[in-house]
Structures are given as C-alpha cells and as structure tokens.
Amino acid sequence: MNINELKHAGLKKWTEEWAALMQPDSVEICDGTREEYDRMIKILVDGGLGTPLNPEKKPGCYLFRSDPSDVARAESRTFIASKEKIEAGPNNNWTDPVELKKTMTELYRGCMKGRTMYVIPFSMGPVGSDIAKIGMEITDSPYVVVNMHIMTRVGKEVLKVLGADGFFVPCIHSIAKPLAKGESDNGKWPCEPDVQKKYISHFPDTYEIWSYGSGYGGNALLGKKCLALRIASVLARDEGWLAEHMLILKITNPEGKVKYITGALPSACGKTNLAMLVPTLPGWKVETIGDDIAWMKFGKDGRLYAINPEAGFFGVAPGTSTQSNFNAMESIKKNTIFTNCGLTEDNDIWWEEIGYGAPGETIIDWKGNKRPAPKTDKKPADEPIAHANARFTAPARQCPVIAPEWEDPKGVPISAFLFGGRRAATIPLVNQSKSWVHGVFMGSITGSEITAAALDLAAGTVRRDPFAMLPFCGYNMGDYFNHWIKLGQKSEAEGRGGELPKIFFINWFRKNKDGKFMWPGYSENSRVLAWIFDRCDGKDNCVQTAIGNLPKPGAIEPPQGVSAETMNELCSVDIDGWKKEIADVRKDYYPQYGDRLPKVLYDELDAIEKRLNG
C-alpha cells in the first residue's frame, strides 16, 4: 500500500511529515499479509541478517544475530518525558520533552536514507475489542515488521477500525543506520552501537513514542513495553483500568471448575513458564491466555476482566526445554523468529539448558563465532553459546495449550493476582495478602534480582521492582500505587469488594546454603497454583502470620526431592529477614516517593512492623 491509499487525513499528514524528515528512498504502508511477511524475510535473508533454519526441523523459521550493543532493553536510555519531572517519578529517567524532541528531531533527520520507511498499522488486543488500542509504528527495519506481524495484529482490518478520524498511538522508530548509495547491511545488524546514543522515549502527555538507535525487542517492537505498558499505564490511570506486566492463565481443577489468574513477575522471572505450565498434580489443567501483558477493565458484574493485548510470545530462549516448558518448545517448532541463539551444524537452533548437547563438531555462537559443539546442555566454561537474553518470537496460536477464549474481546474474569520475583532468601514460597491494601503494600515493596533482560544493569543484584512494573510504569510510581488503592476502595464502596481478585506473593527462587534452589519450580509450581485456587474458594488451608496467610503445614504436599523440613522453611516467616526488609523499606525505599506515596501504605508498614515485633 502507498500513502495515497490512506483514508485517515491525520495519519496521512503524519506519515508525510515523518517521511520528509527521515528521507527514506520509499514509503510502504504494511498490510499484514503473508506475502508481505515473506517479502520482508527475503530482504533480511538477502542482506545476510537472517539465516533460514533446517526446513525439516524448523519449517518457516529464521535465526538472527544482533549487535553486541543491542541485545536487550536499555533501561538507562529509556525516558519518560512528561511536562513536569515529578510526574515521571523516581522510577523513571525524566527529561524535558521539548529539549528531547529537539535533540531527537536532529537525529531523525535523514536517518532513513537508502532505506524503505514502513508504516505498520497494528492493534493491541483483538481488532475492534473495546479494550484494544490502535498503534501506528513507523520503522526502517524489516526485522521489526516481521516481529510486529507475529506479536500484534497488523494490517488493513486495523485501518478499517481506525476509520477516517480514529485515535492511534503514534510510534516512531529508526535503527539509525542510513545507507549510502550502493551500500547494504551485508550481514551486520544495523543499529547505533553506542548505547549512550540510543533513545527509547515516551511522551505521556501526548501519548507518543519515539525510539532511536536500537532494533531489539522492547526497544523496537513498540507495541509491547512502550505502548502496552508505559503509555497504556497512563491511559489506564486516566480511564480507570489496569495495564500490567502480567501473564494470564486459565486453571481447571479436577472437578472441572475454572478460574483465571494473572501474575506479575519481573523480566526473565518465569511468566512464560507459568503461563504454559504442565501440572504435575493429577487432574489439574493449565491453559494460556497471555505470557507478558494484561489489560484489565471492570465488567458490569463488578469483576475485573483481562485481555492479552499481544498476539505472540517474545520469550526467553535459554533455559527453555521440553522438561522446563514443553508447550513453549511445541510453540516454536515452525514460523518462529529466533534471535541470538546458537546455530548447529544441521542448521537448527541451540541454547544453554535446551535439554541436549549440540549435534556435530562445531556450533556458531550468537556472536557468529565457530566454537566446539557442547556435548551437554550446560554453559561452556568460557562464554555462553546463546546470549542470556536470546529470544524466540512465535505466534500465540501455535501454543498447544492456548485457551480457546484467548482472543475473546470481552476478556476473562480474574480471580487472583500473583506478584513475585527472584529472591534467594526471606520471601516465602507463597503468601496471601490480608486485604486489598495489604496486597498493594506487598506489591509495592516487591524486590527481585536483576536479570539479563536489561543490558545496562548489574545482573544478580536485588532491586525493588514494585508490581514488576519498575521499568514499565509511564508515570510516578507513588501515583500508580494510589491508582491501585483507589480501584480497590471503589469496588468496596460499591459493595463489590468480594469480586476483587485475591492477592498472592510467590517466590520460586529460594536458595539453600550451597546456593541450590530449594524448590524445583516449573511444573511443580502447580502445587502452589492449586493452593491458590482453593484459597480463592475460601478453603481453610492457611495460617495467619505477621506477613500474611501462609499454607497450613501439609496443605501443599512437597514434590519429590523436597524434604518436610525444606517445605517448612519455604512456608514460614523468616522474622529477622523480614525485619531487615521492612527497615530497608522505611529508611531507603519509601522516602524516595516523598508525598506521592499514599499514606495508607505507611500505615501498612507500621502495622507489619508491629506484628513482626509482637
């Protein structure tokens, strides 16, 4: 499609203005067809960026290797440019929007020379759903186009819903690598290699996104973290709903009773795994609605309904095996894009902990170097073969346990929220909040070890990551806590407090003195889900403690290899650890929010402190 076919005058003008600034050789409006996808893939393969995989083993699949500077989200280069600094809060990098636009406009000038400018009309959420939003991404990366095809709903249907004057979130993206006459990418991932010159900018007052210099993941696929979380969280605040970094799962008990649960865990902390879990508990069934983002609105019945705004999975590859995540392995057998994985001699992908050693004598690592093929699936002594944040992009419909209602435009009614992170100590396996506000308090103080999903942070150190939203909340986190509190209070005032989801805290990552995980995790997490399911039905399976409701001894049967003693440790209150936790919140964490922190959270802090001392 070309510009002249656009029916929306605002969209046409916007496209023309950006084309004039960025000076591409040509402009193309994406139609979301298979033909378009194949054509983009051909451009990428011809340019030496994409490698077709073995059609016997991985039909329709391609491997890409990105630049070492461009392997994950760049948190230090992610900006929330609200008019006032205080509106961005201590959780965001703020910069003046006028200055930022000036700087970036100069960077964008001529940045698409020698390339095609693609305009991608996409819907986050089923096309036409009341909860869905339309975005428009301008990009010079065919890799972004094919990934957006999988991750969102792209094409003419979206333009139809947009009509002549509908609202869309404008998303500008450039990889910042113009081509001179006759120059081609020639196998080198195009981007701005200096991390300090990358920008992932958000303008919450005008709901705009401007990204420059990165072609990877959440920095470049702007529907995901930029629109569906940072901008959507602002829309949700303004309109009274929730945009959260949450998986959505459907769970059926042995009696056939169904509940829907969402879970917020920080990046690379287990959402995809939990969303597709194969239960070890007999008779229980888990199906997937979404693995990363949930948008939730109250229905007329007072219940909260969630949709998955995405259409695909952009999942962490290392650690994924038939053992750890069977359904993910099934989902990525065809039509999948792999990025920064190893390439075996028989043209298949490989990564650490994939469940088997690499075939043949040699393997190409994510940097393109030929290395000895690992005989086991363990990380080689020197450098890993796949980057720790290597990912697969796969259509959600390929998941064997995708729930039939996953695209229901109404969404699914939520019974429970889970919050958690990676914590080697203190935080129990599972803990139910005493009330809505206590749940918000616990969500607000949640901490997690930093993972490889951010390229510019020290992996392994614990930081507070409230609601798993620290890198994704587009406004002041103190106000975000207040938004949550107010939603609960409103429901309660309407006499619908009982319809609110129950709130739970989970931690699969406790370690013993030898540094080994105390809980086997993965499929065995079904035991915890079953306990949560029964709690939601009011089953008497908990004990009340200073920190919340913990499983009654014996309420969760320990999986094989977990002793009764370990189980007890996982499900009890570490009084000294919690006292330290609470002291840190009071001294170093809560004060950073100043008077934006809702007072009731200080009341909760006082109350838990009193209970721990009592």
Q: How far apart are CA 29 and CA 2, in angstroms?
A: 6
Q: Which does 319 bind (CB under 5 to 8 A by kind): Mn ion, ligand SPV, ligand GTP, none?
A: ligand GTP
Cβ contacts of 525 within 8 Å, gap of 6 or more: 274, 277, 506, 508
CA–CA separation, 550 vs 582, rounded Å? Answer: 18
What angle (nearest 5°) sits at the alpha carbon of residue 189, between those of residues 186 and 195? 140
Does residue 319 touch ligand GTP according to CB under 6 A? yes
Residues 487 and 496: beta-carbon distance below 8 Å: no
Residue 82 interacts, among ligand SPV, Mn ion, ligand GTP, none and using kind-specific CB cut-offs from 5 to 8 Å, with none
Quote the distance between the C-alpha of residue 260 and its chain's center.
19
**Closest among 210, 136, 89 to 472, alpha carbons compared:** 89
447 makes contact, choosing from Mn ion, ligand GTP, ligand SPV, none, with CB < 5 to 8 Å by partner type, with none
CB of 604 to ligand SPV, least distance (A): 27
**171, 191, 226, 269: which is the annotated catalytic residue?**
269
221 binds ligand GTP (CB under 6 A): no
CA distances from 238 to 84, 124, 235, 600 (A): 17, 18, 5, 22
226 binds ligand GTP (CB under 6 A): no
List binders of ligand SPV among 193-252 (CB under 6 A). Answer: 217-218, 224-225
Residue 612 token pair = 């721990």
Residue 374 half-sphere exposure, CB side, CA atoms within 13 Å?
24
Q: What is the end-to-end Cα distance of the chain in Å, rounded? A: 69
* Residue 594 one-letter amino acid: G
Q: How many residues bind ligand GTP (CB under 6 A)?
A: 22
Cα–Cα distance between 307 and 411 in angstroms, integer? Answer: 5
| Minimum CB distance to ligand GTP, residue 313 (Å) | 8
Q: Which amino acid, residue 454?
A: A
Please identify which residue in the block is written with the tokens 């996104």.
Answer: 209
Query: 217 touches which of ligand GTP, ligand SPV, Mn ion, none (CB within 5 to 8 A by kind)?
Result: ligand SPV
453 binds ligand SPV (CB under 6 A): yes
Cβ proximity to ligand GTP: between 529 and 597 the closer is 529
Burial pattern 40-50, b for ≥16 Cβ within 10 A else e, equals: bbebbeebebb
State the binding partner of 324 from ligand GTP, Mn ion, ligand SPV, none, CB within 5 to 8 A by kind. ligand GTP
Q: Tell me the residue nearest to Mn ion as measured from the CB.
A: 292
Q: In the bound complex, what is the minimum distance in angstroms from residue 222's beta carbon to Mn ion?
A: 14
At closest approach, how far in Å is the CB of 229 from ligand SPV? 9
Helices (H) then strands (E): counts for the chain = 16, 31
| Contact call for residue 312 and ligand SPV (CB under 6 A) | no
Among 331, 525, 545, 549, binds ligand GTP (CB under 6 A): 525
Window contacting ligand GTP (CB under 6 A); options: 120-128, 315-323, 549-557, 565-573: 315-323
Both tokens of 234, joined, read 């602002």
Among 28, 36, 70, 292, binds ligand SPV (CB under 6 A): 292
Q: How far apart are CA 64 and CA 341, in angstroms?
A: 8
Stretch that binds ligand GTP, among 19-27, 203-211, 514-522, 596-604 (CB under 6 A): 514-522
**Coil, helix or strand at residue 56:** coil
- In angstroms, rounded to a whole number, what is the distance separating the alpha carbons of residues 135 and 131? 13
30 annotated active-site: no
Q: Which does 407 bind (CB under 5 to 8 A by kind): ligand SPV, Mn ion, ligand GTP, none?
A: none
SS (H, E, C) 115-126: CEEEEEEEEECC
Q: Rg of the chain's alpha carbons, rounded to an integer? A: 24
Residues in region 260-299 near Mn ion by CB under 5 A:
267, 292
Q: How far is the CB of 179 from ligand GTP (least distance, A)?
A: 32
Query: Binding to Mn ion by residue 310, rule CB under 5 A?
Result: no
Site map 65..84 versus ligand SPV, x via CB under 6 A? --------x-----------
CA max distance for the chain? 75
Going 74 to 248 to 205 to 107, the CA torsion angle's sign is positive
* Alpha carbons 326 and 396: distance in angstroms, whole number: 14
Nearer to ligand GTP, 453 or 485 (CB): 453
Binding pattern for the stretch 410-449 against ligand GTP, x by CB under 6 A and - elsewhere: ----------------------------------------
Distance between CA atoms of 82 and 96, rounded to whole angstroms?
7
**Rounded least distance, CB 338 to ligand SPV, Å:** 14
Piece of 33-41, 132-140, 180-188, 314-322 that binds ligand GTP (CB under 6 A): 314-322
Stretch near ligand GTP under the rule CB under 6 A, chosen from 194-202, 492-500, 516-524, 598-606: 516-524
Q: CB of residue 519 vs ligand GTP: minimum separation in angstroms?
A: 7
* Binding site residues, ligand GTP, CB under 6 A: 265, 267-273, 291-292, 315-316, 318-319, 324, 453, 508-509, 517, 521-522, 525
* Binding site residues, ligand SPV, CB under 6 A: 73, 217-218, 224-225, 267, 292, 314, 453
Which residues are marked as active site? Answer: 269
* Binding site residues, Mn ion, CB under 5 A: 267, 292
